[in-house]
Amino acid sequence: KISSLSCSGSRSSKTFKPKKNIPEGSHQYELLKHAEATLGSGNLRMAVMLPDGEDLNEWVAVNTVDFFNQINMLYGTITDFCTEESCPVMSAGPKYEYHWADGTNIKKPIKCSAPKYIDYLMTWVQDQLDDETLFPSKIGVPFPKNFMSVAKTILKRLFRVYAHIYHQHFDPVIQLQEEAHLNTSFKHFIFFVQEFNLIDRRELAPLQELIEKLTSKDR
């Protein structure tokens, strides 16, 4: 449906990461199908709940991959509007500015443009998702003890991409008729992180009003 995904220009294609696929036939694939089926019912609160008898780590892993793919696609539609010139800093409104550090390659937070920050962020997330010791895709391979803290960091950072899109690029989202898609994706994300308490409330502050508006109908 999204014709604007071709992302012309070298920078935007660089930012648009390849989709992370969950292998068909795997248990995680079954979980993803379950998630999609319950989402189809329209009840997002139900859709995010841990299915009976399932492992919480695996449920968080499958959904984290799915959110990465969704945000990747949503950001991919507006890369032409998010440039070094339009967004010289990574911000979510005037009060919130993000500086990048990943703790390994870049230890001291650096100030950079939004497209550069989001490229760093999505590349970093992709590296985590591709790490079999962190996100095991094979049946019976256990999740590491630090899995949940890694997942929380990933989700905290993915939230910043939503926050940037909402604060700085909502007009093009409306022009592209992506508003409903963005809202549904973000609402699903928020219900998920609320259900399992995965992001600190302070981190959600840039979109607090929107979160209250989107979630108040479904209490």
Q: Is 82 a known ligand-binding residue? A: yes
What are the beta bridge partners of residue 98? 90
Q: Look up residue 74 and give its two tokens.
A: 């949503």
For the stretch 147-176, pLDDT in tens is: 999 999 999 999 999 999 999 999 999 999
pTM: 0.87
Cβ neighbours of 153 (radius 10 Å)? 18
pLDDT of residue 151: 98
User: Is the pLDDT score of 17 beyond 70?
Assistant: no
Burial 172-201 (b: 16+ CB within 10 A, else e): bbeebebeebbeebbbbbbbbbbbbebbee
Residue 174 to residues 12, 20, 95, 181, 182, Cα–Cα distance (Å): 20, 27, 23, 10, 10
Q: Is 99 a known ligand-binding residue? A: no
d(CA 155, CA 67): 8
Choosing among 1.20.140.30, 2.60.200.20, 2.70.98.60, 3.30.70.1400, the CATH entry for 27-216 is 1.20.140.30
Q: Which of 11-15, 17-21, 140-144 has the highest mean pLDDT?
A: 140-144
> Which is higher by pLDDT, 23 or 92?
92
d(CA 31, CA 51): 9
* DSSP per-residue string spanning 99-140: -B--SSS--S-B---HHHHHHHHHHHHHHHHH-TTTS--STT
Domain boundaries, the chain: 27-216
Over range 15-36, report the average pLDDT: 76
Q: Is 164 a known ligand-binding residue? A: yes
Nearest residue to 134 (alpha-carbon basis) of 199, 61, 76, 198: 61
Q: Is 169 a known ligand-binding residue? A: yes
Q: Look up residue 201 and give its two tokens.
A: 């409330």
d(CA 115, CA 82): 6
**Please, are residues 209 and 202 in contact by the beta-carbon 8 Å criterion?**
no
Q: Look up residue 187 and give its two tokens.
A: 């609402």
pLDDT of residue 41: 65
Helix (H, G, I), strand (E, B) or coil at 98: strand
